[in-house]
Chains A and B, each alone.
Chain A
């Protein structure tokens, strides 16, 4: 089988969708395409289905919170780490989302692997994925309040139990009572 020659993803995107590509960032040989959030599905489809690109494997989706003083286009960033099995290379798509009601369309229609990865981000970061078939919490209990991976969510702790205060602490514990 003839494998089509590899295309440079940045140039291919610049040609195909110049308006939706906001920026290209290079750091330690990793290419990041910063794009408009509402265009993510179009990008995903294009990168997966175009000959010479074929990013057919979704490695990871991760979200990052730039709270408190972000000098970036939005408080949240969502990174899609793509991998092309055919051409053996990686690419990162990144979208910035605003602090109020961060929402991005789901890419589950392109890669099924995104289903749980997006659920995890919804759970931990409170980012909504529009059109997701089953957007429930995945790691935390359903009735959990807040989104722990946000930077303004405090790292909680429990008071250390010593002999002088153990009775008092035990009173507030939800142990089974006789």
Chain B
């Protein structure tokens, strides 16, 4: 495939000359006569959690139509992966859902492992579980902080970000990077847990439960918070499933579907944890589900640390996993494998697989199609935020515009996740 430069237009594009006519069919006819108001929310608005743009049709303060518009953060990650060998593409997946990079890494690595038939050692699986749950805590903390701030509870934001730093420090110990670690690799993880990691993790496990209590003290029984969230953005379970919602947003409606329980991966079947469920499917229930998930994540991490198995942290199948540096001095075979894997990569069959795991936001799926060569033919990520934004228009119908901010926060969207 030859590369050609993208033509750059010689002059700035002309000003938009559109009219309401372009929106006929998308908004109600009342907007055409000016009876209802068309309002643009975003993409720079802080409460849209990134670069989400919503076109709202308002009747007074009531939302008649809500048209989400995404793509402002589209970076062509799926297209870029097609030109990279499998292992090199892992770094790109971090950048999709930038609040849960470990989940993206893991789902991509698991798809590769399934496609080529590579086993992951038990220790690597346990390390993955610890990282996935830490990522869930990290992501839920950002969600809780920003969601509460949107609704006017400023102090929760500061507390959440204080605790999040501990998690990011631990990620830095693992990979040298606070956020985009690319710590997961096909066949395991990049390196073994460093000596300082487990003491820091144990300290965090002792420290964090009291902090969750603090958040709950600030919000759970706070009458203002309850007034703003209860009965808002109600999604019936049937609708939630039909709209493709997943994760805590689906469980807030009372649908008991957690991929960690339903189709366990990476050894989740060994751990004992509950799946919190909501009842009413409103903003408040989705809030409760996520706060409970913080506690459940801690439970899983404790169990994983307690029975952390020994052994290799990455598969020793040298057809897919490069040998450690120390072997290169003494073994010709290791040199050949090193050279082959770092120049060419490994081949994968001309077949397709679909792997889905439970990311903090819901089901993140990776569809991977090999070519028989060292690069994939097609990678597609099914991302929870994409589905949740598409559902926003339906959920927010008939609500006040002030409640829209709460609804956006409650389905926990990340625009990097939806736009890829």
Contact = CB atoms under 8 A, between A and B. Distances in A.
Nearest to B419: A139
A56 B238 CA distance: 10
B241 A56 contact: yes
Given A64-B377, A112-B242, A154-B1, A174 B9 contact: yes
A148 B365 contact: no
Interface in A59-118: 59-60, 62-66, 79, 81, 85, 88, 90, 92, 111-113, 115-117
Interface string A16-51: 000000000001101010000000000000000000
Contacts, number: 130
A8 interface: no
A116 B356 contact: no
A116 B244 CA distance: 10
Nearest to A175: B12
B40 to A, nearest CB: 16
A134 B26 contact: yes
Given A62-B378, A116-B390, A27 B351 contact: yes
Contacts of A132: none
Contacts of B356: 59
Contacts of A81: 354, 365, 367, 382
Task: Kindly name the residue among B76, B80, B419 whose own CB sees the greatest number of chain A CB atoms within 10 A.
Answer: B76
B76 to A, nearest CB: 7
Nearest to B78: A149
B74 interface: yes
The contact size tier of chain B is 35 or more
B382 A148 contact: no
B262 A88 contact: yes
Nearest to A153: B79
Nearest to B354: A81
Interface residues of A, number: 50
B120 to A, nearest CB: 15
A100 B57 CA distance: 39
A148 B76 contact: yes
B244 A58 contact: yes
Task: Please indicate which of the listed interface residues B80, B351, B353, B354 has the most CB atoms of chain A within 10 Å of its own CB.
Answer: B354
A167 interface: no
Interface of B: 1-6, 8-13, 26, 70-71, 74, 76, 78-80, 82-83, 114-115, 117, 241-244, 255, 257, 262-263, 351-354, 356, 363, 365, 367, 369, 377-378, 380, 382, 386-387, 389-390, 394, 419-420
Given A64-B352, A81-B354, A155-B1, 15 more contacts: A30-B354, A58-B244, A59-B382, A79-B367, A81-B367, A92-B354, A112-B243, A138-B70, A154-B2, A155-B83, A156-B3, A156-B5, A157-B6, A172-B8, A173-B8
12 contacts: A32-B352, A60-B354, A81-B382, A85-B255, A154-B1, A155-B82, A158-B6, A159-B5, A174-B11, A174-B12, A174-B13, A177-B12
Interface of A: 27-28, 30, 32, 56-60, 62-66, 79, 81, 85, 88, 90, 92, 111-113, 115-117, 120, 124, 134, 137-141, 148-149, 151, 153-159, 172-177
